[in-house]
Structure 1
Amino acid sequence: MEPLLINIRKDSLISVLQLVLKVVSPNNLLPVLAGINIEVHPTEIVFTTSNTSMTIQYRLSQDSHSLIIHRTGGIVVPARYFIEVIRRLNEGLITFEIKQGLILTIISGSSQIRLQGIDPDEFPSIKKEYHCGAKYRINNALLKSTIRQVAIAASSSEARPVLTGVSFDYNNDYLTLIATDGIRLASRTIYTENNWNKSTKILIPAQNLYEISKLLKNDDDTTEIVTFANQVRFTTNELKIDSVLIDGIFPSILNIIPQSYISEVLLESKSLLRAMECVSVLAGDSIIKIATTTSTLALFSQTADIGDIQNEVPLIEMEGEDFNISLNGKLLVDLLRSIESEKVRLRFTGKLSPIVLIPEHACSSTLFLITPVRTHN
């Protein structure tokens, strides 16, 4: 073990730890994965954490104000105790030193803490990008928005593992994200930049994508996405995130999306969401009935022995005939919360066919489906 010695500002360290600790679980069966791998190089420190499904790596460059590197080295420290100790130290510079063995000494003012570490050679190494399948860049704000809109439709049940993922289908500079839980579906197509001209289709765990979207802080920056082996890598500035892929074939949606509709209404998105949230309060088994009248979309729900709720949303436009249908209100509310446009088009395609939701936006390629619920009346 090299005799590591550095000085680092507390605020800089806390900022890094808040990112990399996202994937650390104190209950991991492998003790080394309950830790943070700290590698000190001549000009930077690399912090790495992993839970086998995701790996986060952050590179902090030497800076006379926030980081001074005296001697290189490395150690894996227990994340839980490390962050709790750091939070309680005084502001300003903190000294980290390894004099011998696997003991990290932390000094701040009159405080001195010694933490037993683990040999960094036991920490799984981050893979090199050999045999790239595809490589492209996306604006962070666009990527986060797309993940939020699509991943909501992925399944949380492990009964069909492929449905817990989001399909990334890259072809001819365009990337289509699709997710479905068998009842609802979300899809969005976006344009990518600086591409490696290879088509590819991968399946990424939706839960990992949620965490990745939270880690992308600067909306004006771009993220490079690279596929290789059985992994996908997201890189933006000093941050690198690897995720495993789901093995399996994502169901084709070509025959699921209705190509025609019987009726279409245009509604104000926030008004529809508020009305749906209100009606959902008394929705027994989450079932909500919706029906069109001359100028409104009427919503109704009830719970036996408790009561019922009726609400109405004004129609901005309507085309086609009146309709009525029953839906799972909770699932529809989740979709409506991810809509970012002021208006939404709702298309009725048949009593037993999916309802189609399309955000009203000139540049939008977002589409949501939700399957109706059969009722006795």
Structure 2
Amino acid sequence: MQLRCPQSELERALHQVSRAVARRSTLPVLSNVLLAADEANLRITATNLEIALSVSFPAEVTDPGQLSVRADVFTEFIGSLPKQDVILSGTTGSNDLRVTCGTSKARIPGIPAEDFPSLPRIGDQPPTATVPVEGLREAISQVVFAAATDDSRPVLAGVLLEFRGTELTLAAADGFRLSVRSLALQQPAATDLAIIVPARALGELARVLGDGEETVQLLVTPNRSQLLARSGRLEFLSRLIDGTFPEFRQIIPKQWRTRVTVDRESFLAAARRAKIFAQSNNEVVKLHIAPGDSELDPGSLTVSAQAADAGDTEDILPARVDGPEATIAFNGRYLTDVLSVTKATEIALEMTTPNAAGVFRPVGDESFVHVVMPMVIGAA
């Protein structure tokens, strides 16, 4: 293998794939990156067997070939080089990679490319669906935080991706809350299906999607064991979770008794203040909804928290209230989580009783809904 490429392109590619490098593994090759040069491109790949990331870019290739080298040493050395062309070369019969840039040279021991895990690629296969990058990134951010953080129930540590016609629906739940976001597709999905992607993997996909790209192609492998994504020069792979996701649509309450609509940013600020005090009282943040006396006084939402050793706080926010007076309490972190991921100016909270789930809906946006189980309101 021998090629020449710009230091900046090489450094950028190594940075992009670095999130898939295994930090602790009994397999040394998983701490490596695979360098694969064809006639006109260099492809760099890393995997920890949970996810894989691959980036390709143009290079002056004089001798195509493949070699696997330690990711940490190679990445750090490339990052220390000046912004000049870098020459990478390997010789037949040796696994060493030689790096030359200006007056700097290095030899990095490698591992044969054959030892690196074989990974599927989208190639020329038609994708399952093509999704807007910004839309997918936002949708992931609005659901991934609601997934379980432990693996006691594996399906809840993942995010459901449901392809139906011209709609992609993402859903995540941890037993205490449920987040659902739908996304319109420009073209119908190749087939209707549902898969469960590990939440951590989907979060990584959102982080690495390129800002300059408009769409991302998603492909579910025929055996439905892996999800592949391609956007520009980046390719991503994740294993899938085998199992059946709960019937989330049945969890979302169909009716409400009291509905309050409030400015989202004001609600979020008040919830953050209440959370400071709630930390000393099992994270309980109390919401009191009060109807107004007239059309000029539509109502209020009081956000409060108290703890014996921390004190107490209260914010009274103007709000539009439909239905009778009501009180409900939520975990303060759950409250700030949902208020942080929506962009709508106003958000509505719907509830029936203090012990039944509350439903959050951004006003004017029917694509997102979030359900949270309440907390028992007791003495501080």
TM-score normalized by the length of structure 1: 0.93
1:105 aligns with 2:98: yes
1:341 aligns with 2:344: yes
1:147 aligns with 2:154: no
Contact 1:141–1:219 under 8 Å retained in 2 = no
Residue 263 of structure 1: aligned partner: 258
- Where does 1:222-301 land on structure 2 (aligned, <5 Å)? 222-228=215-221, 229=223, 230-283=225-278, 284-293=281-290, 294=292, 295-301=299-305
- 1:76-102 C-alpha deviation (Å, 9 max, x unpaired): 010011111111112211111113401
Q: Mark the CA change 1:369 to 1:196 in structure 2 (over 3 Å): closer, same or farther.
A: closer
How many angstroms apart in 1 are the aligned matches of 2:189 and 2:271? 44
Shift of 1:174: 1.1
Aligned residue type for 1:369: V
- Structure 2 counterpart SS, 1:25: coil
Q: Mark the CA change 1:92 to 1:128 in structure 2 (over 3 Å): closer, same or farther.
A: closer
Residue 120 of structure 1: aligned partner: 113
How many angstroms apart in 2 are the aligned matches of 1:179 and 1:128? 27
Shift of 1:219: 5.8
How many angstroms apart in 1 are the aligned matches of 2:351 and 2:66? 61
Q: Mark the CA change 1:44 to 1:342 in structure 2 (over 3 Å): closer, same or farther.
A: same
1:14 aligns with 2:11: yes
- Where does 1:25-174 land on structure 2 (aligned, <5 Å)? 25-61=22-58, 67-100=59-92, 101-127=94-120, 135-174=128-167
Contact 1:133–1:198 under 8 Å retained in 2 = no
Shift of 1:361: 2.2
How many angstroms apart in 2 are the aligned matches of 1:31 and 1:339? 42
- 1:213-246 C-alpha deviation (Å, 9 max, x unpaired): 1111236510111111201111112111111001
The match for 1:190 among 175, 183, 186 is 183
How many angstroms apart in 1 are the aligned matches of 2:83 and 2:120? 36
How many angstroms apart in 2 are the aligned matches of 1:203 and 1:57? 22
How many angstroms apart in 1 are the aligned matches of 2:132 and 2:340? 22
Structure 2 gaps of 5+ residues are 293-298
Shift of 1:71: 1.2
Aligned residue type for 1:148: S
How many angstroms apart in 1 are the aligned matches of 2:185 and 2:26? 39
How many angstroms apart in 1 are the aligned matches of 2:49 and 2:39? 28
How many angstroms apart in 1 are the aligned matches of 2:45 and 2:337? 34
Which moved further from structure 2: 98-107 or 162-171?
98-107
- 1:257-297 C-alpha deviation (Å, 9 max, x unpaired): 11110011111111100100011001021111110233321
Instruction: Give aligned pairs, total.
Output: 366
Contact 1:166–1:204 under 8 Å retained in 2 = yes
The match for 1:305 among 293, 309, 315 is 309
- Structure 1 counterpart SS, 2:141: helix
| CA RMSD between the two structures | 1.7
- 1:112-137 C-alpha deviation (Å, 9 max, x unpaired): 1100000000111112569x897111
Aligned residue type for 1:159: S
Q: Mark the CA change 1:136 to 1:36 in structure 2 (over 3 Å): closer, same or farther.
A: same
Residue 296 of structure 2: aligned partner: none
Residue 64 of structure 1: aligned partner: none
How many angstroms apart in 2 are the aligned matches of 1:99 and 1:258? 65
TM-score normalized by the length of structure 2: 0.93
The match for 1:356 among 355, 359, 374 is 359
Structure 1 gaps of 5+ residues are 62-66
Q: Mark the CA change 1:69 to 1:224 in structure 2 (over 3 Å): closer, same or farther.
A: same
- Structure 2 counterpart SS, 1:275: helix
- Structure 2 counterpart SS, 1:251: coil
Q: Mark the CA change 1:95 to 1:134 in structure 2 (over 3 Å): closer, same or farther.
A: closer
% same residue: 25
Q: Which runs of 4+ in 1 moved over 3 A?
A: 194-197
Contact 1:58–1:240 under 8 Å retained in 2 = yes
How many angstroms apart in 1 are the aligned matches of 2:126 and 2:332? 40
Contact 2:165–2:189 under 8 Å retained in 1 = no
Residue 295 of structure 2: aligned partner: none
